[in-house]
Structure 1
């Protein structure tokens, strides 16, 4: 058997059980057929074998982002982006929206993302009157970072049939002023459901997928665990895009949505869609619910009051019994299950559900997950380990929002996204960006996991620092394990899929403070080179 491609003269981090670093890899079609020294691999070279000299640069298994929103990420790239466009005041916000309105056909939605009132001079949200002053011919939907709160104008409310007398749904709030009038702010489930009114067309969804794929390939992402689309229509389009080969990245698609996740997940389960159905390119993932809110909102559910407000403990979306009603049944029927849980109260609620489910229906190798696992002190870490729950943490979050976290949660930040503690316990902890909440670039996440500093340069829970090797493992092998795929990907070993990337640097020689500057030179999926830097 001869190789179609051989890579040689590299620093190849296999991420196998022993973390072996080798020199050469041989690939035949879509599989890895040899790993080791060039003397061992050269026997697979034929006169038609393409030999690529790595020139000492590092090769890794393709990055696997264990929690992001592929379609939503792509859609956001089309919107007004307040962070990228450096909005620093309410006037900037209104100007950017007005400019977009002038380019948008009458009646169509104006969408904007990455709003953060703390980045503005006024340190406040836009009022309903201010948003109405932008346009009376377009509905507006603004997404606040990190995607649990939004804002709309009067035309947006009219489109949704919302008035000041509309009752708040469970887990959400239509904010009102002291006189009972709508302010334009949509909190938690209210914002999530509002996206159903402002939904994208099928053409826009395909366009979003294409944009996201281009970005992910550039950053060496070969697989993603999609943590929820908008609704059933977008879930369908995601499957079709994969089936039609318009989407070449591998997808593990959670059974969940941003728009009324409870109903969506229940309906999907009733339809018989089950974890593991699919193939190597598109596979159904865990049944998912939300249990609490946003870490920067801040609306996460904590056991003790916030450091910034001792009387406030955030908000739970559902009760423990309500979560069990869906996920307990899912477990009994053989699903992997997971929840969005950021605060320690929400994490504890979910672990109670998992424990109860396992007591009533014992099951080996269930690999139930917990998305984010934000504030996880020692008692909850040990419960995760004991119950076999896989935490999917977000290394970029402390770098991006650490200063805000320290303000709201104080000493609890030492246990936020607790990579070091979880790995030392032997927990199969995986990493993710939650893009578009944070940058999709895994090297930024690796940098953050290794350095644990905020954007302002302050240390953040430094006892949770991990090695570069451990950080890479969270984005490769551990993430593959979280989707039951460690036998086919996540490491560079004979018989596994040829999903590999080549970096621009020799990773072992890169100073820790410069990790985020490392780029991807080549991305291969299924033996096919899908991205190659112009200089390669």
Structure 2
């Protein structure tokens, strides 16, 4: 027998070893009796498909229950308990010896962005330097030829060896004959080449676009950075074929299993993008492939568009009802700090500083207050759940005002409206109103780590210390889920940050905002399922629930909190079926 990906996997029939020696006839008789009793017990035991044993099976219920073993059959969890108890009750077709490792519910990433990309796309996730960005862009330019657009996503100046923003000059040197636009991680800004800027009609004389800005060097020339309005460039890129995008989307969705993510919320789609999601899931179903459960948040299309939105997912051929669904309506109230355009009560710490934002700068709302308030009321009145982007404290407080007004005008039980992000802590009064009206949040503690550089530049005082607060909103009675927003994809950076409140620099921010391990895990599993109205189906490991779970590489309870990012998913199950196994 060999130790595989997630431990010792073996057929139950090999469990019993031979008796090494029988020294006395009396002992031989006892052994024979014991074996006969065992055979009777096995005959009376129930068959199951999987038995995972000898580990820490973390239920993620409110009590923080942990078991040794879990049994799966027919896509469901049929039992949890001690090794001895489950071995006595069940005979398994297959087993995993957990060897002390943790099992948790499959992670529910309640705010992420999964997209299909074209062949022109350059992957820049965790790219280590501007030089490496240039190498990848040059390689793509050679493949595509002169004049073809090159796009990419995922860079962050905080991770670049040069410790600076990339510029149009960097891209010009890498691909002098191609328009290039590379979106920063978080999707609130991008860097563009001179050719791309020219095609968009942007130059030194161009004013900042509405709801965005153009980066400039000390001489006033465009440096290539476009904040919040990279759509001015991306709208010029020729579309990829539906087949190309669907194939890529399916691949990106399947990759989530390697992180232990079994359910996700794609937090930003348009009506035009819904057919792509339908196609990806229909093609996967036809091919016998399993994809994560997904809810797609669609940007509010207005009252008329709402009717078309309801029809858009009707009659999905080959897609199981619990596999792909519409999520909450998305409304963007403000921007983010990677822009920066998050709307704050007080001016940014960088306002009026050399190389900073303009004096008095507080970010901005994406639309006028009256229009945003009307959108919230209309979507609520039309029966939709709302998942609203609000990062700055001023944006959060206004959003809560609008939601409370909508709920008081049109009362609705169990609406489960929520705010995405909640980065700058609002007033205690605002949080008390949220608790009274059951307005939830999905928070990204990983931002404390991955966006630390932007926070240090633009925030100060308590709003810096308590960025992406966790304990305070929980203390006010808010329902709090934890998600990634792809900075980075995967739960472990967020889990570590939730427990340590540590930034990339090693600095710890407001340690009293940290959560315990069980609290954070519950926020990454059950709390996300609750936002989807699915907490009775998945999100905890309990009898009768669907068998969505992940085997991790270590016992989470034994890993120092500051080292949790070393933990990886080794096995991922969806509906009791293995969908990922990490090879050693």
So what's the TM-score if we normalise by structure 1?
0.88
Question: 1:3 is paired with a residue of what secondary structure?
Answer: strand
Give per-residue Cα distances to partners, 1:134-175, cap 9 Å, x unaligned. 545422112133311123335435655768888876423456
Give per-residue Cα distances to partners, 1:470-492, cap 9 Å, x unaligned. 11111100111011110100000
Note the 1:21-420 alignment, pairs <5 A: 21-42=66-87, 44-46=89-91, 49-71=93-115, 78-81=121-124, 83-87=126-130, 94=134, 96-116=136-156, 119=160, 121=162, 123=164, 125-127=166-168, 131-132=171-172, 134-135=174-175, 137-157=177-197, 170-173=210-213, 184-188=224-228, 190-192=229-231, 194-198=233-237, 199-229=239-269, 231-245=270-284, 246=289, 248-256=291-299, 264=301, 268-273=305-310, 279-309=321-351, 311-377=360-426, 378-411=428-461, 412-420=463-471
Residues 308 and 162 of structure 1, relative CA distance in 2, 3 Å threshold: closer
* Among 10, 15, 18, the residue aligned to 2:63: 18
Partners of 1:265 and 1:287 within 8 A in 2: no
Residues 44 and 237 of structure 1, relative CA distance in 2, 3 Å threshold: farther
Partners of 1:148 and 1:192 within 8 A in 2: no
| Gapped regions of structure 1 (runs ≥ 5) | 257-261
* Among 422, 428, 438, the residue aligned to 2:479: 428
CA drift of 1:105 comes to 3.1
Partners of 1:395 and 1:445 within 8 A in 2: yes
Instruction: Identify the residue that residue 259 of structure 1 maps to in structure 2.
Output: none
Between the aligned partners of 1:122 and 1:251, the Cα distance in structure 2 is 36
Between the aligned partners of 2:233 and 2:110, the Cα distance in structure 1 is 26
Between the aligned partners of 2:118 and 2:97, the Cα distance in structure 1 is 38
Between the aligned partners of 1:274 and 1:372, the Cα distance in structure 2 is 29
Residues 150 and 63 of structure 1, relative CA distance in 2, 3 Å threshold: same
Give per-residue Cα distances to partners, 1:252-306, cap 9 Å, x unaligned. 11112xxxxx5x4666413142899882111111111111112233221100011
Over aligned residue pairs, what C-alpha RMSD do you find? 3.0
Partners of 1:274 and 1:284 within 8 A in 2: no
Residues 502 and 77 of structure 1, relative CA distance in 2, 3 Å threshold: farther
Question: 1:399 is paired with a residue of what secondary structure?
Answer: helix
Between the aligned partners of 1:425 and 1:35, the Cα distance in structure 2 is 33
Between the aligned partners of 1:68 and 1:320, the Cα distance in structure 2 is 26
Instruction: Identify the residue that residue 18 of structure 2 maps to in structure 1.
Output: none
Structure with the greater alpha carbon radius of gyration: 2
Between the aligned partners of 1:211 and 1:242, the Cα distance in structure 2 is 11
Between the aligned partners of 1:448 and 1:177, the Cα distance in structure 2 is 34
Residues 332 and 221 of structure 1, relative CA distance in 2, 3 Å threshold: same
Between the aligned partners of 1:476 and 1:269, the Cα distance in structure 2 is 30
Between the aligned partners of 1:449 and 1:508, the Cα distance in structure 2 is 15
Between the aligned partners of 2:364 and 2:272, the Cα distance in structure 1 is 29
